[in-house]
Amino acid sequence: MHALYGQALADSPTGERNVQQYVGADKLQTDPVTGQINWRRVYAIRIAVLTRSFQSGAIENTERIYRLLDADLYRYTDQTSRQVFSTSIAIANF
């Protein structure tokens, strides 16, 4: 599983909640006064999950490559079926 947070880079003068970039938790903006992550500018989250079948042998034994959002590649050479699911969720952070 991998997650990215959608943040605004600055406060909107009109109060709109516009996501300007999706980043990992380690790259979220911090408040200049407190040094803490500025969670009030996080308006969405993207989540990706790599799933696998319970049984092997249903497919050919070849290398398959999977990417979850901006994470490193996952490489498998086996007979296990896998699939990536992802979604974006708006956060009512106001």
pLDDT in 10s for each residue of the chain, 94 residues:
999 999 998 877 777 788 999 999 999 998 888 889 988 889 999 999 999 998 877 788 889 999 999 999 999 999 899 999 999 999 986 6
Among positive and negative, which fits the CA dihedral 15, 21, 25, 29?
Answer: negative
Half-sphere exposure at residue 69, Cβ-oriented, CA atoms within 13 angstroms: 18
Give the count of domains, the chain.
Answer: 1
In angstroms, how far is the first alpha carbon of the chain from the final one?
Answer: 27
How high is the pLDDT of residue 17? 80
Task: Give the range of the structural domain holding residue 32, as residue numbers without chain letter.
Answer: 2-90
Report residue 68 as tokens: 């979850």
